[in-house]
Structure 1
Amino acid sequence: MHHLPLIAAAGLAACVVSAPAHAQQAQPHITLPLEASGEASMNTVTYTCGGETLSVSYVNADPNFLAILPVEGKSTVFASVIAASGARYAAGQYEWWSKGDDATLRDLTAGEDAKPVLECTSASE
């Protein structure tokens, strides 16, 4: 059995540390051990979303498949969910769905017909 440590910026509510406004501290980090039944890997894909670039890290450690991307300026961990095609991930009210070179970020509270928050294309060369 393989172990893949996952280090993410603590955007998770359980890990938020309050500090006085005058104190400057480095953002806390958490480490999650993920047991994998086979090979484990982590790769980063850069996407172009309109005029912006977005880096998404994918963690593949069967049975855990994660995507880590910034949402509203915070590093957010998305967990894989069932998809008819492509790879679909969810975190709170958000859904990250990639298929081929294309990906979208949606706010699920905005309704089924709402435009995606981001429409992206892989910036691979």
Structure 2
Amino acid sequence: MKILAPVAFASVLLLSACATAPQTPTGSASTTHNYRCESGQTIAASYPTTDSATVQYKGESHNMAIAVSASGSRYVGGEMEWWTKGSGTGSEGTLFRHMADSTTGEVIERCTAI
């Protein structure tokens, strides 16, 4: 029985690593992070809850829900996917097409937090 405890603990750690923490803690006010993209476009991403993001891109607002990611924070909504890695100035944000089969599609924008 002693062998099961480490295996169970390792399983919990592995599963918790797959669901990354969102950008804003529970109960705090929504924060907005601004990104400059390689194309010259800008993205403003806000996180109104721990489970959601709103991405402003080319004058349109895209509401997204948190999704499982291997690293970073990933949000999906409609045909868009927003994936961030790191925090603060210089962190990365990538906007992707989100495919109907729930896979990540082509890159729309590669951005850096400003």
Q: What's 2:107 paired with?
A: 116
Structure 1 portions without partners, runs of 5+: 1-37
Q: What's 1:81 paired with?
A: 67
Against the structure 1 CA distance between its residues 46 and 40, is the aligned structure 2 distance closer, same or farther, given a 3 Å change threshold?
same
Instruction: Note the 1:1-125 alignment, pairs <5 A.
Output: 38-50=26-38, 51-61=40-50, 65-71=51-57, 73-100=59-86, 101-109=91-99, 115-123=106-114
Across the two proteins, how many residue pairs are aligned to each other? 83
Task: Work out the CA distance in 2 between the residues paired with 1:66 and 1:56.
Answer: 10
Judge conservation of contact 2:81–2:104 (CA < 8 Å) in 1: no
Instruction: Write the letter of the residue equivalent to 2:52.
Output: L
Judge conservation of contact 2:84–2:93 (CA < 8 Å) in 1: yes
Instruction: Give identity over the alignment, percent.
Output: 33
Q: TM-score, normalised by structure 2?
A: 0.61
Task: Work out the CA distance in 2 between the residues paired with 1:44 and 1:117.
Answer: 20
Instruction: Write the letter of the residue equivalent to 2:93.
Output: A
Q: Which has the larger share of strand?
A: 1
Which runs of structure 1 show a deviation greater than 6 angstroms over 4 or more consecutive aligned residues? none
Q: CA RMSD in A?
A: 2.5
Structure 2 portions without partners, runs of 5+: 1-25
Give the drift of 1:41. 2.7
Judge conservation of contact 2:76–2:98 (CA < 8 Å) in 1: no
